[in-house]
Structure 1
Amino acid sequence: MKLLFLLFAGFKYLKFSKVLLTGGTMLLSVLGYAFIFGWPYAVGFVALIFVHEMGHYIAAQQRGLKVGAPTFIPFVGAWIEMKEMPHNAETEAYVGLGGPFLGTVAALCCYLLARNEGSRLLLALSYAGFFINLFNLIPLSPFDGGRITAVLSPRIWLAGVPILGALFFYRPSPMLILVAVLAIPKVIEAWRYDPAAPENQAYYATSTATKVGYAMVYIGLVGLLAIMTHDVHEMLGGA
């Protein structure tokens, strides 16, 4: 891992650093997944992650934020470098929603193509896309769901704790432990959140209509992804 990070840091000094960083780390991810799942699935899986991250990238650019190209780490995921942080909770929610929204569109495209072509590969990829985006909507930062629901109140993050705990007991994973460690500061922040504090009023202040709008989109997206994840899993026969 140290060698990979040194390699990624070195890319910053090259002329086409953005292309090399994104393309190089994508290739490493494809290689990693290909050893386990084969090349066709690996390419499709990484492509779905790329589309998800580009959703964040496009949303950030639409709000005038400086953002870097996506970076991948095999078996961990990907992220975009926020060179400029959102100035308010509504902007953060908009950028956070961009990834799951575009990722869901990509998963739906795979699903429709799979049904039309009778492809189990595309069906398996659609399942992965639905599941990943649903997982990312857990209402706890650093998940996208935490960034979206923060526009309502950071205290909603406390609801994400039992969800993450239930997932760990259902399917134990070192990745969930890592996420839990990263989430600890945000859980503490949510527990200590004071809506009357001037800094919180400045950052989280938004209209009721905006909050209702984000809540409806969030719930609708979670519902759609939950249904599709379940149904596609049944189509795959639990494989």
Structure 2
Amino acid sequence: MLSTLLLLLKGAKLGKFLVTGGTMLVSVFAYALLFGWPYAAGFVGLIFVHEMGHFIAARSRGLDVGAPTFIPFVGAWIQLKDQPRDAETEAYIGMAGPLVGSFGALACYWMARETGSSLLLALAYSGFFLNLFNLIPVSPFDGGRITAVISPRLWLIGAPLLVALFFWRPSPLLILMAVLAWPRLVEAWRGIRTPEAAQYYEVDIETRTSYGLLYLGLAAFLAIMCQELHSELPRG
């Protein structure tokens, strides 16, 4: 009986590895068709680093979470099998992805400076932009999960940003994100109406301030790095 149980547990862990590894390989293949293998592998690696930030943060708060799953040209996600207890926990998990992901992009930037590699410079730019994009303040973006701890009404700022991004770079992904964000935007517009929701978003002013400063600081840093690296990228 015990040996059967251990075998099932090993099979479950192997299944998670196969899902993550398999979907990563599919994503690398899809991106490689457009950008070549070296860039594709590096870009998917940066997405993995971002998602592992969420994964580790969720585990550190005692939540059961699935391994990352990748979809080409959409990104990746981790499945939270246990939902956060409060807005602060959700913000903590949300912030971990862009924060750890930014360190991954910084590592590419440092190596690009040391080696003069245009590939690493391009990956650094993509990493910075990827994490900045995820800071859009509306759920299901990470920014929506972070700003909720400050005030859910900040999601209303994310709506015009999504519209502006769509007109700048039209993409079906932005339409999908807008559809997913719509219920949260309605919630933000109507305001908190139930005692349960009020309790979920009840956070002390020190916590709100800390997350607000960290969010704004990270967004500003990523925006500056994107601007700086965009002018350095090779053309043609």
Using the size of structure 2 for normalisation, the TM-score is 0.93
Cα distance between partner residues in 2 of 1:191 and 1:169 = 24
Measured in 1, the distance between the counterparts of 2:105 and 2:89 equals 25
* Structure 1 unaligned blocks of 5 or more: 1-12
For residue 8 of structure 1, what is the aligned residue in structure 2?
Answer: none
How much does 1:127 deviate?
Answer: 0.4
Q: Which residue of 2 aligns with 1:206?
A: 203
User: Which of 83, 91, 94 is the matching residue for 1:93?
Assistant: 91
**Does 2:231 align with 1:234?**
yes
- The separation in 2 between residues aligned to 1:15 and 1:79, in whole angstroms, is 18
Which one of the candidate residues 200, 219, 224 is aligned to 2:221? 224
CA-to-aligned-CA distance 1:30-50 (integer Å, 9 cap, x gap): 010111111100000000000
- Tell me how far apart the structure 2 counterparts of residues 129 and 238 of structure 1 sit (CA, whole Å): 19
Displacement of 1:146 after TM fit?
0.2
Distance in 2 (CA, whole Å) between partners of 1:238 and 1:225 is: 22
Tell me how far 1:200 sits from its aligned partner.
2.2
Q: Would you say 1:185 and 2:202 are equivalent positions?
A: no
Residue 14 (structure 1) shift = 5.9
Match of 1:135 in 2: 133
C-alpha displacement of 1:238: 5.6
**Could you tell me which residue of structure 1 aligns to residue 34 of structure 2?**
36
SS in 2 for 1:67: coil
Partner of 1:72, secondary structure, is: strand
1:149 aligns with 2:137: no
Q: Which moved more, 1:197-206 or 1:133-142?
A: 197-206
> Shift of the alpha carbon at 1:75?
1.1
CA contact 2:118–2:234 (8 Å) conserved in 1: no
What is the count of residue pairs matched by the alignment?
Answer: 226
Describe the superposition over 1:73-118 as per-residue Cα deviations: whole angstroms up to 9, x where unpaired: 1111100010001010000000000100000000011001101100
Query: Deviation of residue 198 (structure 1)?
Result: 1.3
Matched to 2:218, the amino acid is: L
Q: Among 46, 49, 56, which residue is 1:48 paired with?
A: 46
* Aligned AA (1:232): L
AA in 2 matched with 1:147: R
User: C-alpha root-mean-square deviation of aligned residues, in Å?
Assistant: 1.2
- In structure 2, the gaps of 5 or more residues are 1-10
* Aligned with residue 118 of structure 2, among 120, 123, 137: 120
What is the TM-score with the length of structure 1 in the denominator?
0.92
Instruction: State the distance in 2 between where 1:107 and 1:181 align.
Output: 29
SS of equivalent to 1:158: helix
| CA deviation map 1:6-25 (0-9, x unaligned) | xxxxxxx7661110000000
